[in-house]
Structure 1
């Protein structure tokens, strides 16, 4: 008889089988081992992760026979919700090829797949409004906001096929003329703004840590208001010319398409500081095995990438965020704040917008280079939260009117 497995505890709670903590030591990140050996990485509190793992383990017990070699536990039931999910993916990629090649398509598929898994993969004719509502209201604001469009498309597909008779309407629609699930209210912003003093403290500390690519990324974001993804995808052989930088906004391309997206040009004559940053990026590229990207970093171990147009020294967005956090904490910036309130790399973009406003530029012109749909987004989410602006009051009351008798 084998030795019994030693129980594992996190925060005083015993972890069920197949649930493990994150190997990168990230807080509230977990790994669940599926029946086919694949790993599902998800984010949840300890109590919620244990609940989901126990729920998935109960689902395993329903299938005592081993599924086919090319099937997993979740897709073993023919005609189930995940089986319909596969047909929805195939239909979308066939009829909407532009959406299927978008950068966010994989994430949208994952939102739908996660809903099917967390609902225990029922048959479509068993799906009720009460089940969907209970699951929807257990989600936080950001998962609701990000997944609603994909879920609406998936339920539309099921309703057109006539396989969800217990759903009287699409609960994920956004029209006020029909019933719909109410999303959570947006939580108040807790992340603090980044000041220019803190920016240079983090910038100097990044140099001490050997993160020259992070320094270049910070300077590019400050001078151009580029997002983290745009900075990482900036190529010296495609977007950098003799007179400046020509770059399309990736978020705008994914949302509006290449024809209607926002394309920006920064010329060295109007932005002289960019020439120095790009020259530094060229030198870093030569040191990092001629990496064609403007920001690069040689990892300790070379890992071949799936895409041929990428380079193994390319500095990816997740690594930029991790390096920024490391440099920020090493520099002692906002040590008194909790981790979720400390400024991140994205706050450089807000700092750049704030400095542009102080330079005398209008919110409308700032919204244009930020590729926002209107200036209200720029005002509410990028220009607010910095130091208070005081209006000089130049009118007074006549002292004779308030004299005491």
Structure 2
């Protein structure tokens, strides 16, 4: 197959060298990472020629001439998705979609890399140069699985990812959503979004649970929901919430919204093609909830000054709701059950970061004299 022709502005440049607004960037053919080369075209061309002579060893051309099959990263990822991801009955659809998306991103970045050239240094440079924060951990895990799969095929002898850092000391930057911010967004939101926000705040639903909530999930006086992210590994993901007056009112108002739908959060699609894309044409997907929430949030002047990577997302409503319940006197154990968490530490993570959580301590019932007398008694 002939290589894709270069864009007009990059014609005449050395392979792997690109120009944008007079600035030159070199993309390493072995790792996919990009490196600035300045604005001097002659120097950038010279540097690209030297780098290409060292990094492009002609392995692909030799294999083509000899008729040998190339075990590239793209080939390994495609087979891994088919044989390990899609074929695994224990993986949820959400997990499969996430793994597929990350696999496609790696193919886009550096899919033509031959597996034999994927050393530990290659893995470290790719991860450090392309993924930051929590994404580093996620992509490292996916790369490790891909290379484990390649080992089972005999394409490589060892997993080059294993020696790399398992964590890059990621610190959460996204801010917690405040009550005032929730109110400001709620006032501007369309009615279906208000219902979605209330579900997240009152029932502590994530966006997947908000999108999936149906009227027929309410039976025997309880709303049944399944925590999508943990349903395959924990029985605590299956929760039946007692219907309260506030939940009854939420459901009643939801039913009044057009069109008639089996889903509690529903809307009339703006485009005809949307009506046939999901389980029911009125259903609102999790992605759409996220985008619409962000759009309304960013329309607020007080939100525009917050850096993009720190702005609270729809998911922060769940954390806000858990903290408000705690302030109302609800036990952490009850909040943990409502959130579908198997581990209390995860619930504590959602409760932290809003404000100072004062630990409630019992007062000392003894006066000075009593304490001194106790201290003098033999142990």
> Residue 201 in 1 paired to residue 184 in 2?
yes
Query: What do you get for the CA RMSD once the two structures are aligned?
Result: 3.9
CA contact (8 A) 1:249 1:263 kept: yes
1:133 pairs with 99, 118, 124, which one? 124
CA contact (8 A) 2:71 2:155 kept: no
Counterpart residue number, 2:30: none
| Alpha-carbon distance in 2 for matches of 1:11, 1:214 | 40
Following superposition, the deviation at residue 302 of structure 1 comes to 1.4
Counterpart residue number, 1:216: 195
CA contact (8 A) 2:239 2:337 kept: no
Output one character per residue of 1:342-371: Cα deviation in whole Å (capped at 9) or x when no partner.
322111111111111112223233222222
1:249 pairs with 192, 211, 227, which one? 227
| Alpha-carbon distance in 2 for matches of 1:387, 1:358 | 11
- C-alpha change, 1:205 and 1:320, in structure 2 (3 Å) is same
Q: Name structure 1 gaps, 5 residues minimum.
A: 17-43, 49-53, 68-75, 174-178, 399-405
Output one character per residue of 1:190-240: Cα deviation in whole Å (capped at 9) or x when no partner.
33222223322221222xxxx11100011111110000111011122x313
Counterpart residue number, 1:280: 253
CA contact (8 A) 2:303 2:311 kept: yes
**Larger Rg: 1 or 2?**
2
SS in structure 2 of the partner of residue 388 of structure 1: coil
- Which structure has the highest helix share of the two? 2
| Alpha-carbon distance in 2 for matches of 1:185, 1:200 | 34
> Residue 303 in 1 paired to residue 273 in 2?
yes
Counterpart residue number, 2:74: 82
Following superposition, the deviation at residue 306 of structure 1 comes to 6.3
| Alpha-carbon distance in 1 for matches of 2:307, 2:98 | 28
| Alpha-carbon distance in 1 for matches of 2:298, 2:127 | 36
| Alpha-carbon distance in 1 for matches of 2:358, 2:78 | 57
Query: What TM-score does the superposition give when structure 2 sets the normalisation length?
Result: 0.71
- C-alpha change, 1:93 and 1:202, in structure 2 (3 Å) is closer
SS in structure 2 of the partner of residue 246 of structure 1: strand
Output one character per residue of 1:28-59: Cα deviation in whole Å (capped at 9) or x when no partner.
xxxxxxxxxxxxxxxx99979xxxxx99xx99
Counterpart residue number, 1:152: 144
SS in structure 2 of the partner of residue 245 of structure 1: strand
Counterpart residue number, 2:105: 114
Q: Name structure 2 gaps, 5 residues minimum.
A: 1-6, 11-17, 26-32, 38-47, 369-379
Which structure 2 residues correspond to residues 5-84 of structure 1 after superposition, within 5 A?
12=21, 78-84=70-76
SS in structure 1 of the partner of residue 230 of structure 2: helix
| Alpha-carbon distance in 2 for matches of 1:262, 1:124 | 39
| Alpha-carbon distance in 2 for matches of 1:219, 1:10 | 49
CA contact (8 A) 1:109 1:150 kept: no
Name which of structure 1's ranges 102-111 and 86-95 shifts more when overlaid on structure 2. Answer: 86-95
Following superposition, the deviation at residue 14 of structure 1 comes to 6.0
| Higher RCO (CA < 8 A, seq sep 6+) | 2
CA contact (8 A) 2:72 2:115 kept: yes
CA contact (8 A) 2:267 2:282 kept: yes
- C-alpha change, 1:355 and 1:10, in structure 2 (3 Å) is farther
Following superposition, the deviation at residue 304 of structure 1 comes to 4.6
- C-alpha change, 1:123 and 1:294, in structure 2 (3 Å) is same
1:382 pairs with 350, 353, 364, which one? 350
